[in-house]
A and B are shown apart, each in its own frame.
Chain A
Amino acid sequence: MVALGYYLAARVGFAFTLQPHPISTLWPPNAMLLAVLLLAPTRAWWWLLAAALPGHLLAELQSGVPAAMVLGWYLSNCCEALIGASLMRAFAPAPFRLDSLRNVGVFLACGALAAPLLSSFIDAALVRLIGWGEAATGTWCRTRVYSNTLAALTVAPLILTWSNVDLSQLRRVRVARAAEAAALFIGLLAVSFVVFGLPAVNANAMPALFYAPLPFLLWAAVRLGPAGTASALAAMAVMTIWGGVHGLGPFSGQPPEETAREMQLFLSAVAVPMLLLAVVLDQGARVERDAFEQRQQLTHLSRVATLGELSGGIAHELNQPLTAILSNAQAARQFIANKTGDPALLAEILEDIIVADQRASEVIRRLHAMFKRGETQFEKLDVNVIVQDVLGIVQGDLVTRSVAVVAQLGAGLPQVYGDRVELQQVVLNLVMNACEAMAATASEERRVTISTATVAGAVQITVSDRGSGFTSDQHARLFEPFYTTKPRGLGLGLSISRAIVLTHGGRVWCAPRAGGGRPSISRCRPKNDRDR
């Protein structure tokens, strides 16, 4: 595969050669070899370099260059890839990824600058030794450095970034995103063709034209990440050089060396900032994604921990229907054995068994959604259903704690736009907090009131208890993470609840009430008024 890739890359390189100049404007094989070495483990390097030899021979021997020079070039090309790859491996861990500013810096310094520069001296020395060509060593070196640097800047990032892309994920890309990428590339190619692929009107007239593809490259950097940017850069480089080679575009009309050098300088100057920009933006987005992912995990863990505290009550909720089913079934059997079971009674018993079974599966359904760690899914929700589901889960525990619950559910509430499980978690947290706040309250006095109402167009859920209330210090720190007044609490429930409510565009606050009551109020605003 390496040999084939090298051969094809070399053919592309020949296609981009401005005759009679022996060095291509863009010589991709070296950059391809560099990228392959960077992706492979160090012990495989020798095999990979050896594998490139057939490709090199096949490509170069067709061009009528003396065999000694062909082998010399093979040596210098391998040297370049080796120098670049070893330097980069020294500064960055394997496998090399173009995903941080530091790695791009290492890549630019070692792969795009040092490697072409150092190997060019070897190359020039070999040319001199073999005595092929007549260009001066200085010119030879310079042309070769430009050519290989440009290749390193366009070809290597293309391979390195795409090797990092999960192809299975690519298949699940949304249509809108694919359409955006397609529009971007069509636009970029069209603009590049107009600028670089049409006969030059006047070579020096319109320097502003050079900037025409820039918006598309910036677009790619902002929206498509490093892989998209590298692809866009490669596409533009191909268009530019193709135009130059065919005597088209603003770079033509000069001696070949001049044309090649100007294209190389132009493309390199564009590629470096674009790659840096894309990687910096990608890095920022990744940090954000990681933080989001961690918040999700924490939310789930806190939810599962709360459910763990409720396990006794939940077991009770599940045992009730199971007891009913068992007793009913055994009663029916006994009635039949006694020959006292008339069909109407047996039908009634069976009906009760069915109802009890449905109740058990309802308990399991509610719990399953809460335990599961799923993606956040926003949908239109009835707040009253959320409150009722939560009450179903905590009911057993409330009875154990001798806490009475009063639900005052408002009628005709607008639907809210939110994640069902996360909103349930918020209500569950508030109810549990309310219960725990009443541990010192006399058992006849323990009561949690949950009310839902529309306040100024937004849905408001209020959870209030008859606990002892807060001091002003507790009140101020209530929503801080790891702040807890409970002996065994983690102090995460309320801070996670607040984060959830904030992502729902609502707010949660606590209103101390005269007379020692302590309503915690969570208020969720519907996302838009159309939901009403």
Chain B
Amino acid sequence: MVHIGPWSNYPPPRHLLQSGIVPPNVAIVDDEEPVRKALKRLLVASGFEVESYASGKEFLATNHQPPDCVVLDLHMPGMSGLQVLEELRASHRQLPTVVITAYDDRRGAGAVSRCRCERLPAQAAGRAGALNSISASMAQARSPTPKR
């Protein structure tokens, strides 16, 4: 898949489609159905291909083409977002990730930075916040410094 970026200026879908650019693929992992649905709508409206998953287990179990970016809720029952990150790291499938932190939570901040994620506090999860974080995480993933 070819990325043409940066995406920080949110090209509208019509322009994307006309220009023949393949839209970036985003996976949403969130246990809360209303939030999952709403984020999916927002990202679709902003021109992304979106797959959504109700739990970390479901996401990891799906045998899919790796998404260009994962939007991951940390606060989930069963397998938490942090566990998903650790799992991805352990299996060398590290992906550009935006983690949705539930509130001003310092727990797991270390793990989040280890995995080179963008943090998106839930209260800032509006369009600008989400899109900025997604493009930042993808830009970071493309940068040559650390190993993938």
Which positions in A face B, CB cutoff 8 Å?
312, 315-316, 319-328, 330-332, 334-335, 337-338, 340, 349, 352, 355-356, 359, 396, 398-400, 402, 404
Bound CA span A323–B39, Å: 9
| B45 lies within 8 A of A355 (CB) | no
Hey, which chain B residues are within 8 Å of A400, CB to CB?
Answer: 75, 102
Q: Out of A321, A335, A338, which one reaches B34, CB within 8 Å?
A: A321
Interface string of B106-121 (1 = CB under 8 A from A): 0000000000000000
Hey, which chain B residues are within 8 Å of A323, CB to CB?
Answer: 35, 38-39, 100, 122-123, 125
| In the complex, residue of chain A having the shortest beta-carbon distance to the beta carbon of B105 | A312
Give 6 new A-B contacts, CB below 8 A, not counting A312-B105, A319-B103, A331-B38: A312-B103, A327-B35, A327-B127, A328-B42, A330-B42, A334-B42
Bound CA span A367–B79, Å: 28
| A315 lies within 8 A of B44 (CB) | no
Asked if B6 is an interface residue, CB under 8 A from chain A, the answer is no
How many residues of B are counted as interface, with CB atoms below 8 angstroms from the partner's CB atoms? 29
The listed residue with most A CB atoms (<10 A of its CB), out of B12, B37, B44, B100, is B37
| B126 lies within 8 A of A399 (CB) | no
Say how far A306's CB is from chain B's closest CB, in angstroms.
Answer: 18
| A399 lies within 8 A of B76 (CB) | yes
Say how far B125's CB is from chain A's closest CB, in angstroms.
Answer: 5
Hey, which chain A residues are within 8 Å of B44, CB to CB?
Answer: 331
Hey, which chain A residues are within 8 Å of B100, CB to CB?
Answer: 323
Given that A312-B105, A315-B102, A319-B103 are contacting pairs, would A399 and B75 also be in contact in the complex, using a CB cutoff of 8 Å?
yes
Hey, which chain B residues are within 8 Å of A328, CB to CB?
Answer: 37-38, 41-42
Q: Out of B78, B122, B127, B130, which one reaches A319, CB within 8 Å?
A: B122
List 24 A–B pairs whose Cβ atoms lie within 8 Å, in order of A's numbering.
Answer: A316-B122, A319-B103, A319-B123, A320-B35, A324-B34, A326-B125, A327-B42, A327-B130, A328-B41, A331-B41, A331-B44, A331-B127, A335-B41, A338-B13, A338-B14, A338-B45, A340-B13, A352-B34, A356-B34, A399-B75, A399-B80, A400-B75, A400-B102, A404-B77
| A399 lies within 8 A of B77 (CB) | yes
Bound CA span A146–B22, Å: 111
| In the complex, residue of chain B having the shortest beta-carbon distance to the beta carbon of A405 | B77
Bound CA span A349–B37, Å: 9
Q: Out of A320, A355, A398, A402, which one reaches B32, CB within 8 Å?
A: A320
Bound CA span A328–B76, Å: 21
| In the complex, residue of chain A having the shortest beta-carbon distance to the beta carbon of B122 | A319
The A-contacting residues of B in range 112-148, CB under 8 angstroms, are: 122-123, 125-127, 130
Given that A331-B45, A399-B76 are contacting pairs, would A322 and B102 also be in contact in the complex, using a CB cutoff of 8 Å?
no
Interface string of B17-56 (1 = CB under 8 A from A): 0000000000000001011011101101110000000000
Bound CA span A327–B42, Å: 6
Hey, which chain A residues are within 8 Å of B75, CB to CB?
Answer: 316, 396, 399-400
| A326 lies within 8 A of B34 (CB) | no
Bound CA span A402–B14, Å: 43
Given that A321-B34, A334-B46 are contacting pairs, would A327 and B77 also be in contact in the complex, using a CB cutoff of 8 Å?
no
| In the complex, residue of chain B having the shortest beta-carbon distance to the beta carbon of A330 | B127
| In the complex, residue of chain A having the shortest beta-carbon distance to the beta carbon of B33 | A324
Hey, which chain B residues are within 8 Å of A399, CB to CB?
Answer: 75-77, 80
Say how far A466's CB is from chain B's closest CB, in angstroms.
Answer: 16
Bound CA span A400–B108, Å: 11
Say how far A215's CB is from chain B's closest CB, in angstroms.
Answer: 66
| In the complex, residue of chain A having the shortest beta-carbon distance to the beta carbon of B41 | A331
| A396 lies within 8 A of B34 (CB) | no
Say how far A329's CB is from chain B's closest CB, in angstroms.
Answer: 9
| In the complex, residue of chain A having the shortest beta-carbon distance to the beta carbon of B128 | A330
| A316 lies within 8 A of B42 (CB) | no
Bound CA span A322–B125, Å: 9
Given that A327-B38, A352-B37 are contacting pairs, would A334 and B122 also be in contact in the complex, using a CB cutoff of 8 Å?
no
Say how far B47's CB is from chain A's closest CB, in angstroms.
Answer: 9
| A322 lies within 8 A of B123 (CB) | yes
Bound CA span A359–B115, Å: 33
| In the complex, residue of chain B having the shortest beta-carbon distance to the beta carbon of A341 | B45
Hey, which chain A residues are within 8 Å of B42, CB to CB?
Answer: 327-328, 330-331, 334
Say how far A509's CB is from chain B's closest CB, in angstroms.
Answer: 30
| In the complex, residue of chain A having the shortest beta-carbon distance to the beta carbon of B39 | A327
What 4 A-B pairs come out closest when comparing CB atoms?
Answer: A334-B45, A327-B38, A331-B41, A331-B42
